[in-house]
Amino acid sequence: MSQPRVSPGTRRSAVVTGGARGIGRAICAELVERGYDVLVTDVDAAGAQRTATELGAHSGLALDVTDPAANRAVADLAREIAPLGAWVCNAGVAFDGDLPELTDEQVRLTVDVNVLGVMWGLRVATDAFRAQASDGVPGGEIGVLASLSAHAPVPGLSVYAATKAAVLSVVTSVAAELHDDGIGVHAVCPDGVATAMVDGFDVRGGAREALAAGVMLTPEKVAAELVGMFGTARVVKTLPAWRGGIARTASLAPAASMHADRAMRRLGAYRLRRAGLR
């Protein structure tokens, strides 16, 4: 069900935001392997260039996804290299802690990067695909990194979860808006992923306990599942699917789910102790 590789002699470019490390790097590797000329973008310009060199991507450059003009400039650059074939909104931030514990700056940055950054990417990618269609190059794929937390209450990650719920809503709406344009819009909602961001969470905090109680995925698994939706009608995929079912059930009965949440956190704390992390 995955998208065919770029046909020999048919070049297509791809942009990945937050591509220097973690899931973004794995997505870049997946797209390079499929024959795209990949632009690795990140707020860390040096990291983006280093990743591009190591993966054999076209180039690495700085991109602040909260800047609409900067997104548009990257889209224009990608189209100069080859017709844009894919744009992946992967850049994201997360700060663990209850809402009152987070600073104003942390809350604002989370919303700006995770929600507005995705919206700006969706807009510039859509504009690029539509312009190319008028030039006889139809189609294009947009990938978005959402989260399992988009489906359910997540104490200790309330701001992050809210942004991912917003992103999932935007993706499903835009997918319908662009259906007749032949533009695919896809989101993956993974459980915890073994990344530096998760490692940075307080090992004694509730968010880390909740993640430890779930299924820890690899960046490569998430990347393969997201890019694997390209060229299909699939809009949303939750990893693993059974965790998505539990999360959606919790969202329907948030009061009752509090008891299950406490049990899950106890399990997570136990697993962290067994792993020697606390």
What per-residue string of b and e applies to 136-162 under the rule 16 or more CB within 10 Å gives b? ebeebbbbbbbbbbbbbbbebbbbbbb
For residue 114, report the phi and psi dihedrals to the nearest 5 degrees. -75, -30
Q: Which of 129, 160, 201, 230 is catalytic?
A: 160
> Would residue 36 show up in a list of annotated catalytic residues for this protein?
no
What's the 3-state SS for the chain? CCCCCCCCCCCCEEEECCCCCHHHHHHHHHHHHCCCEEEEEECCHHHHHHHHHHHCCCEEEECCCCCHHHHHHHHHHHHHHCCEEEEEECCCCCCCCCHHHCCHHHHHHHHHHHHHHHHHHHHHHHHHHHHHHHCCCCCEEEEEECCHHHHCCCCCCHHHHHHHHHHHHHHHHHHHHCHHHCEEEEEEEECCECCHHHHCCCCCCHHHHHHHHCCCECHHHHHHHHHHCCCCCCCEEEECHHHHHHHHHHHHCHHHHHHHHHHHHHHHHHHHHHCCCC
Give the residue numbers marked as catalytic: 160
